[in-house]
Amino acid sequence: MSTVTNSSPWQRLVAEAEAARAVPIAELLARDEQRVERLTGSVGGITVDASKTRLTPAAETALHDLAVEADVAGWRERMFAGEAVNTSEGRAALHAALRTPEIATARVAGEAVGSRVRATYDAVIGLAEAVRTGELRGATGAAFTDVVNIGIGGSDLGPRLACEALAGDAPLRMHFIANIDPHARQAVLADLDPTRTLVIVASKTFTTLETLANARALRQWLAAALPANGVGRHLVAVTGAGERAAAFGVASERILDLPDWVGGRYSVWSAVGLPVAMAGGGAVFDELLAGAAEMDRHFRQADPAVSLPLRLALVGIWHGNFLGARSHVVVPYSERLARLPEYLQQLELESNGKSVDRDGEPLDYATAPALWGTVGTTAQHAFFQWLHQGTEAATCDLIAVLGGGEPDADVLAANCLAQAAALMAGVSERELEQAGVPPAERAFRRLPGDRPSTVILLDRLDARTLGALVALYEHKVFCQAVIWRINPFDQWGVERGKALARVLVPALSTGEADGDVDPSTVALLRRYRAAGRET
């Protein structure tokens, strides 16, 4: 056993799990009139209600002891101070400095990050406003009407989520190309005018295969329509590799800086968020940052017992590590938040999909569960059967936006609350009998219930609440990583697949691969090549 699983809090939780399984969630509510109030908290327009989870008083105490034993507070302050909390790469993780100016005084490797943060922020706002007002124009003198962001992973998902969630009647239409599939490009370019299109190439490394392929295709698309040497007027780069962007043809004043202490999946607050400022203006980008900053303050100042990020983290660990829930389902009951599950997949799974601790030692406990989901109410016609009557334990975050009385918003919120209630209540044999359901049908129509959910309510969906929501999840992920003793800020796991893809691309045309490629893959290569010859 490791020091984690051998610790007193962990052992108490193992024992408590056995006891907790025998107490229905509804019983926990009945026993404690204060439960709802105690397990519900609000910050920055976000309310988190964990009262319909399987948290028991003894579990809560032991979970908080687990957090203390892991020194969550100490690691939090090290992160905010700019220390190298990205332990395997020896880097800071100071995304909070991008939205919380007072901590931008932190020094990273001796460099005062404040001036660097400010300079990039000013460049983002300045460029966005110049394009929005028409001060900055294309090579033919036409004002820009469309902006295409080329990027993938953290260089796509954050700005795409924010632009879709905050879409208004912006003067600029925002488009996103991430996948290397030409259909992704063609779908975007179909109705764009190159003379009125600005292209942002967002890539921290400026080496990502998909992004460079798309960037070269868009550069060619622009060159075919613009006056000689006009392409540069239509290019912007967001990168930590300025020299590579310059070599690609981006003018130095159009290259926006991305520091190495901002991880891709934590970067929407940086120049990666340029599309947000382009779409909504500097004020919207400021509100996004302000919402996150409010959640930062809460995370640093709140008593652990009422810390919303820590509460989400502990609910996940309690159900995931002790009650067998190996799926975490996210269902936003808002079409504007349809991208949130995909965003959280990268944030949570690329951060905490790890199996060794900070010292490289294998773990003897689970870390991040599978995270998936889709927008509600659509999800209710896709996988809620599994949630209600499946054999697998799962946790879920059901998210709704208070509608201010708009009929459709009320229906969405009603479905969100109803599903959370139904997951807990189920349908009993007695209810079916009272409803006159024939005995032969009851076994199929019984719902076991007693299934946990966390309800998250947004007072409204705007830049500030979106910023607070994303920061809430960032800090939840961080708390879980600290308790699991893992590094949430590296992603070595993605490298092997990328390297093999570079080997297999040429092999597809020859049908042959070098000796390192396994026989199954070689056979598939040959089958692919043969099919290509037949068509």
CB nearer to ligand F6P: pick between 215 and 398: 215
**Member of 53, 86, 208, 307 binding ligand F6P (CB under 6 A):** 208
Residue list 246-275, contact with ligand F6P (CB under 6 A):
264-265
Q: Report the alpha-carbon distance of residue 525 to residue 507 in Å, rounded.
A: 7
Neighbours of 464 (CB within 10 A): 23
CB neighbour list of residue 23: distance below 8 Å, 6 or more residues apart: 56
Q: What is the CA radius of gyration of the chain?
A: 25
Q: Which amino acid is at 469?
A: L
CA dihedral 62→475→105→283, nearest 10 degrees, is -150
**Member of 47, 205, 377, 428 binding ligand F6P (CB under 6 A):** 205
Does 244 bind ligand F6P (CB under 6 A)? Our answer is no
3-state secondary structure of 514: coil
Does 153 bind ligand F6P (CB under 6 A)? Our answer is yes
**Member of 41, 154, 332, 369 binding ligand F6P (CB under 6 A):** 154
Beta strand pairing call for 395-401 and 40-43:
unpaired
Q: Cα dist. 141→148, 149, 193, 195 in Å?
A: 19, 21, 13, 8
Q: Which amino acid is at 193?
A: D
Smallest distance, Å, CB 500 to ligand F6P?
15
Our measurement of the distance from residue 12's CA atom to the centroid of its chain's CA atoms, rounded to an integer in Å, reads 32
Active-site residue identified among 18, 381, 495, 534 = 381
Neighbours of 310 (CB within 10 A): 27
The angle, 0 to 180 degrees and rounded to 10, between the axes of the packed helices 463-484 and 57-70 is 80
Maximum Cα–Cα distance for the chain, whole Å? 79
Smallest distance, Å, CB 330 to ligand F6P?
19
CA dihedral 37→41→45→46, nearest 10 degrees, is -110
Does 197 bind ligand F6P (CB under 6 A)? Our answer is no
Stretch that binds ligand F6P, among 25-33, 146-154, 245-253, 445-453 (CB under 6 A): 146-154
Does 88 bind ligand F6P (CB under 6 A)? Our answer is no
Q: Report the alpha-carbon distance of residue 300 to residue 42 in Å, rounded.
A: 15
Stretch that binds ligand F6P, among 203-211, 284-292, 472-480, 523-531 (CB under 6 A): 203-211
Smallest distance, Å, CB 232 to ligand F6P?
21
Give the per-residue contact string, 334-373, with ligand F6P (x = CB under 6 A; - = no): ----------------x-----------------------
Does 211 bind ligand F6P (CB under 6 A)? Our answer is yes
Smallest distance, Å, CB 373 to ligand F6P?
20
- 204 has catalytic annotation: no
Give the per-residue contact string, 465-494, with ligand F6P (x = CB under 6 A; - = no): --------------------------x--x
- 350 has catalytic annotation: yes
3-state secondary structure of 328: strand
Q: Facing residues of 148 across strands?
A: 175, 199
Does 35 bind ligand F6P (CB under 6 A)? Our answer is no
Q: Which residues of 434-501 form beta strands (DSSP E)?
A: 454-458
3-state secondary structure of 365: coil
Our measurement of the distance from residue 292's CA atom to the centroid of its chain's CA atoms, rounded to an integer in Å, reads 14
> Are 238 and 271 contacting, i.e. CB atoms less than 8 angstroms apart?
yes
Active-site residue identified among 350, 354, 474, 476 = 350
Helix (H) or strand (E) holding 302: none
Q: Which amino acid is at 502?
A: R
Does 152 bind ligand F6P (CB under 6 A)? Our answer is yes
**Member of 51, 149, 195, 203 binding ligand F6P (CB under 6 A):** 203
Helical H segments across 87-144, by residue range: 113-133
Smallest distance, Å, CB 211 to ligand F6P?
5
Smallest distance, Å, CB 343 to ligand F6P?
11
Looking at beta carbons, which residue is closest to ligand F6P? 264
Q: Report the alpha-carbon distance of residue 437 to residue 178 in Å, rounded.
A: 51
CB nearer to ligand F6P: pick between 310 and 347: 347
Helix (H) or strand (E) holding 244: helix 242-248
Active-site residue identified among 135, 243, 498, 512 = 498
**Member of 64, 173, 204, 233 binding ligand F6P (CB under 6 A):** 204
Stretch that binds ligand F6P, among 172-180, 201-209, 303-311, 369-377 (CB under 6 A): 201-209
Token pair belonging to 374: 């889709």
Does 155 bind ligand F6P (CB under 6 A)? Our answer is yes
Smallest distance, Å, CB 210 to ligand F6P?
8
CB nearer to ligand F6P: pick between 149 and 208: 208
Q: Report the alpha-carbon distance of residue 299 to residue 44 in Å, rounded.
A: 12
Smallest distance, Å, CB 266 to ligand F6P?
9
Stretch that binds ligand F6P, among 127-135, 197-205, 334-342, 390-398 (CB under 6 A): 197-205
- 474 has catalytic annotation: no
Question: Binding-site residue total for ligand F6P (CB under 6 A)?
Answer: 14
Smallest distance, Å, CB 274 to ligand F6P?
13
Contact residues toward ligand F6P (CB under 6 A) are 152-155, 203-205, 208, 211, 264-265, 350, 491, 494
Which positions are annotated as active-site residues?
350, 381, 498
